[in-house]
Amino acid sequence: MLDLAHEILDFLLAAGIDVVILTKGQIPDRTLDLLLRYPDRVSMQIGITTLDEGLSKMFKPNAATPRARLEQLDRLIVGGLATRARLDPTIPGATDDTEGLDRLFAALGAAGIDYVAAGFLFLRPRILHTLYADVNDKRLLWRILTTYEDSERLDIRAGKSTTTALPTMVRKESFTRIREIAGRHSIDVAVCACKNPDIATGTCGIGGATPTRALAQKPSQRLLM
């Protein structure tokens, strides 16, 4: 599958077609080398929500380690690619503590990141099943689930569906706190508006941008007051 993905990227880039990539996985070295040959045609987002190796493995067992993702971010930025980080989904009660976020933003800033997009976990039946199956620490599971005690159904733009989300005020206050922490490290934060249409407008850039403009122009987005 990785070989097929590499060949597709090679074909698209050689044909002069811009590509947008969002991943939490380990990008093979030869694919990184390929992307770095086309810095004007590639827009990248790397998902990373914690530096805690244990939490990362628990919630995303098949994804790249936090260290590997930081190394990929650094390599992409040094190579001149339009590159951003994505804190989505941030998991309340697990990956949203102030100390952990401060360490994460410090590491992202050191890697050259000045812009991230953020979103919180939605609770769907399949996600609940996964949490019960994978989170062996029952105190941690309790902390996560209790944050959704006053949850609400939210209409989201993605797929024109509804989902169980944190209460509006909880999300708004949490995003404000995340922005304050990120600001200490000169990082701007955009809230994913398609997942938070009640509190945000504009775009978090998940669909990318014309790569030649992406570094010079950040997506237009604001948090509703």
Does the residue 141 lie in any domain?
yes
Distance CA 76, CA 19 (A): 14
**Any domain includes 222:** no
Per-residue model confidence (pLDDT) at position 212? 47
Give the 3-state secondary structure of residue 46.
strand
Residue 129 near residue 98, CB atoms below 8 Å: no
Looking at the structure of the chain, the number of domains it has is 1
What's the CATH code of the domain at 120? 3.80.30.30
Mind listing the pLDDT tens digit of every residue in the chain (225 residues)? 678 999 999 999 999 999 999 999 999 999 999 999 999 999 999 999 999 999 999 999 999 999 999 999 999 999 999 999 999 999 999 999 999 999 999 999 999 999 999 999 999 889 999 999 999 999 999 999 999 988 888 877 655 667 899 999 999 999 999 999 999 999 999 998 888 888 888 777 766 654 444 444 455 455 654
At 54, which amino acid appears?
G
**Residue 145: C-alpha distances to residues 51, 91, 148, 215 (Å):** 22, 10, 5, 38
Sheet holding 19-23: strands in order across? 19-23, 42-47, 82-90, 115-120, 188-191
Residue 225 lies in a domain: no
From 122, 144, 121, select the one nearest 132 (Cα to Cα). Answer: 144
**Does residue 224 lie within any of the structural domains?**
no
Containing structural domain, residue 145: 2-217
